[in-house]
A and B are shown apart, each in its own frame.
Chain A
Amino acid sequence: MSQLSYALPDSATMLRRQIKHLLRYPAMTVLLVGMPIVFLLLFVYVFGGQLGTSLAPGHGVGGASRTAYLNFIVPGILLMTVAAAANGTAILMAMDMTKGIVARFKTMAIARASVLTGHVLGSVIQALVGVAVVIGVSLAVGFRPRGGPLAWLAAVGVVAAFAFALAWLAVALGLSAKSVETASNTPMVLTLLPFLGSGFVTTASLPAGLRQFAQYQPFTPVTDTVRGLLRGGAVGSHAVVGLAWSAGIALVSYLWATRLYDHRRVGA
């Protein structure tokens, strides 16, 4: 009974704790947001002129191609930001499990999953702050989306849903990690997935094998949905597939995480 009635207030309390942590330890957020920005600038200014030629036919190497490539990779960079936030969440979760405070939470009559929910909601907020910063930088260097306000809203919703799913996955990975170091390494794979999808090149350009992987991995439909929305174009089935992935990852990770949390003994 108390489990249900306290779920909301306890999760809100844990979220407040999480936000205080993020504010007191800003270095991590700066690092996590800084990494995608470095990739954005690197890909646009170093590779963009060359890579964009196929996107802006007839313009040759340089200016117009670079802008075309920028417009192409922003969705991929946004998802990389989301993945980086998830990486940070796995580390924070694993760190929490080494502390006595989580043992204390377990001895209190509070909604059991609220510690995890606090981490997840904190992670989503951190991801969205990162996404806002990355969009700001993108606009500053010439990103020109054509989608209207509704398309923007939808794009943010799709990104937030994916961030929510990856946050639960990160919490589960953080709980399953034997050490904080493992927790920081395993989810690193997530930040690579935009590369092995439609984030930086079209999947059609990839060799067989890798192409199939790229077409069917979850980052691809989400990237394509965001890209379609921001460009003001059609989204098609990508949105449905992307949201289904988000829902599936969130559900499985939630069940896995709560199970791990119940059974794992807190401590070093």
Chain B
Amino acid sequence: MAQAPISSGSGAATLDGPPPTYAVEARGVRMAFGDTVVLDDVDLLVEEGTVFALLGPNGAGKTTMVDILATLLEPDAGAVRVAGHDVASDADGVRHAIGVTGQFSAVDDLLTGEENLRLMADLRHLGRIPGRERVRDLLGRFGLEEAAQKPVATYSGGMRRRLDLAMTLVGDPRVIFLDEPTTGLDPRSRRTMWDIIRELVTDGVTVVLTTQYLDEADELAHRIGILDGGRIVAEGSPNELKRRLPGGHVELRFSDHDAMDAASVLLDGAPADAETLTLQVPGDASVAFVRDLLNKLDGAGIGVEALSIHEADLDDVFFALTGHPTHLEVQP
């Protein structure tokens, strides 16, 4: 389920109304580590007050992109502005405006939850009294009052993530980067995290998140950029991306490998899953398409054990665009 975008949300150009202001403007970003090109001419525009999801498999370059936007890495080429400040010439200006929650927890294990937040309040130079208030406020908002005096080393995974995000919010950042915010969380903690992110956007904050979970991007993002092999291979609202495919796919299950392989060859190398003996055939889920498909298989003498029809979702978009479905996980 995609939600309606808050602003007009159609990328670079709007036909009427004031031109959109961008919280993140990155153009022509290139980055290589040694001979490995990690980002290859990436453009990224994120409107203020929206959620942008960078979606892609492991190794697509998501974390590198976030590190560049968060002033942790200098790109080899490209112009990047965050919250109106240039990351190269005014990194501190960017740092004043942003909050970052990295992929690996950025909390201090030897300190208590409250001390971690106090540390952030001190480093944000909030002053003693306002700092205390902010810390108390965040402990309450993230359900951490009871654990406030306990060392973070004793926290559960979900609690650590909540503290991590709370620390990011201490300075009231206008732009927040979340690198895989729900990876490794149980479904309930993941829901809580989604609610928190939605709340932030209601307050006018811009969120850029990376995820390898299609449902997460679908759930949260106004716009999605699909990153694969260091390039943005598609960009748009969840609905726009889904519209790019006329339909969903048909899943065929076979009784043995030989039948599956034969069918895969017959159907132009439809992606096969050897473990479940299934093939995914992209295409619209119309009766005519299914009839044609079965006729073709019958004609070649290949028996199908079971068949299921899937409406289009972002998985299909991803398969169609990148051609390697198996690298991407869907959370249970």
Contacts and interface: CB of A to CB of B under 8 A. Distances in A.
Interface string A222-241: 00000000000000000000
Interface string A9-24: 1100100110011001
Nearest to B124: A108
A104 B102 contact: yes
B124 A265 contact: no
Given A100-B104, A267-B104, A105 B110 contact: no
A6 interface: yes
Contacts of B171: 108
Contacts of A101: 106-108
B95 A108 contact: yes
Which has the most chain B C-beta neighbours within 10 Å: A6, A21, A103, A107? Answer: A107
A211 interface: no
A202 interface: no
A9 B95 CA distance: 18
A109 interface: yes
Contacts of B122: 9, 13, 16
A104 B106 contact: yes
Contacts of B103: 100
B193 interface: no
Contact of B110 (A16, A21, A104, A267): A21
B8 interface: no
B77 interface: no
A103 B106 contact: yes
A10 B115 contact: no
Contacts of B102: 100, 103-104
Nearest to A25: B110
A107 B70 contact: yes
Contacts of B125: 6, 9
Q: Is the interface of B mostly helix, strand, loop or mixed?
A: loop
Nearest to A114: B123
Contact of A107 (B95, B107, B110, B115): B95
Given A20-B115, A100-B102, A110 B123 contact: yes
B70 A17 contact: no
A155 to B, nearest CB: 33
Interface in A1-59: 2-3, 6, 9-10, 13, 16-17, 20-21, 24-25
B326 interface: no
Contacts of B73: 265
B72 A13 contact: no
A108 B122 CA distance: 12
| Interface size class, chain B | 20 to 34
Given A3-B92, A106-B71, A107-B70, A20 B106 contact: no
A3 B122 CA distance: 15
Contacts of A20: 110-111, 115
A13 B118 CA distance: 10
Contacts of B167: 104
Given A13-B123, A100-B106, A107 B111 contact: no
A109 B92 contact: yes
Contacts of A24: 110-111, 151
B99 to A, nearest CB: 8
A266 B122 CA distance: 22
A2 B171 CA distance: 16
B96 interface: yes
Interface string B135-161: 000000000000000010000000000
A17 B151 CA distance: 13
Interface centre among A6, A16, A105, A106 (most CB of B within 10 A): A106
Contacts of A16: 122
Contacts of A103: 72, 100, 102, 106
Contacts of B196: none
Contacts of B98: 107
Nearest to A106: B72
A24 B115 CA distance: 13
B232 to A, nearest CB: 23
A178 B308 CA distance: 52
B119 interface: yes
Interface in B65-123: 70-73, 92-93, 95-96, 98, 100, 102-111, 115, 119, 122-123
A258 to B, nearest CB: 15
Contact of A109 (B95, B109, B110, B115): B95
A90 B77 CA distance: 35
21 contacts: A6-B125, A9-B122, A13-B123, A16-B122, A17-B119, A20-B110, A24-B111, A100-B102, A100-B107, A101-B108, A103-B72, A104-B102, A104-B106, A104-B167, A104-B168, A106-B71, A107-B95, A107-B98, A108-B171, A265-B72, A265-B73
